[in-house]
Chain A
Amino acid sequence: MCHCGQCRKQSGGIWSSAYVHQDALAISGAVQWFASSKTAKRGSCPRCASFLFWKANAEDTISFSLGSLEGATGLTLSKHIFVADKGDYYDIADSVPQKP
């Protein structure tokens, strides 16, 4: 669960994601990539702007949004990150570990 300023701007709230090795992800259709920093890029749908992917240029993994997954995921949250940048309009009330 990422509360950083970039994820908040792009998602409209908080971005939740998991990641896999890039070879484990098969993408169908077009992705619009935005270089959000010198070291990472963000992928969204060019038609509806769904925020789908985050990729660090130097890493061989790719993060994908949990909201994009169909049906039950069987996943659980492991941590909140960049909570120092969180919005003032919500509280983090679960017991998931937080990192500043």
Chain B
Amino acid sequence: MYQGSCLCHAVTFDLAAPLRPIYACHCQQCRKTSGHFWAATSVPNTALKLTCDDGLRWFQSSPTTKRGFCGTCGSSLFWVPQGEDRTVVAAGAIDGDTQLQTKAHVFVADKGDYYKICDGLPQFDEFKGDESA
């Protein structure tokens, strides 16, 4: 069992293992939202339990996706593709050691010009990976 939260704890949640490996997304939306790139795992919705949703707000980021965040501190927490029974969860929101590894960088065609990806992990110009959790 993992626990996570936003910065101010107006949103807290539990995640039931196992968690999907981390994907680092360099798309324009993730870059804007996070301020750099967004790293996230994914779980079936049944594995996500919101233990406090006082601060949880949603932004419809595209016709088919929405992003969940804390309305108090602004932490970026969730990404939900409509029609799929899963939630993508920010790796940075998870408390303590995750025992997870980053599997790949995706949407690298959209990456910023001010950093290099040097870790040797696979890089894709779109999403390629385990779509489902």
> For the complex, what is the distance from the CA of A47 to the CA of B40, rounded to whole Å?
21
Chain A facing B: main interface SS: loop
Looking at chain A, what size class is its interface with the partner chain?
A: 35 or more
Q: Are A66 and B114 in contact (CB under 8 A)?
A: yes
Q: Are A15 and B36 in contact (CB under 8 A)?
A: yes
Which of B8, B72, B73, B97 has the most CB atoms of chain A within a 10 A radius of its CB? B73
Q: Are A49 and B74 in contact (CB under 8 A)?
A: yes
Interface string of B67-95 (1 = CB under 8 A from A): 10111111111000000000000111100
Residues A65 and B35 in contact in the complex (CB < 8 Å), given A9-B5, A49-B69, A87-B98? yes
Number of A-B contacts (CB under 8 A): 163
A binding-site residues for B, Cβ under 8 Å:
1, 6-17, 32, 34, 36, 42-52, 65-69, 72-77, 87-91, 93-95
A-B contact pairs, 17 of them (CB 8 A): A10-B6, A10-B7, A11-B35, A12-B75, A13-B92, A42-B74, A45-B74, A46-B71, A48-B59, A50-B76, A51-B35, A51-B74, A87-B39, A89-B22, A89-B39, A93-B118, A94-B116
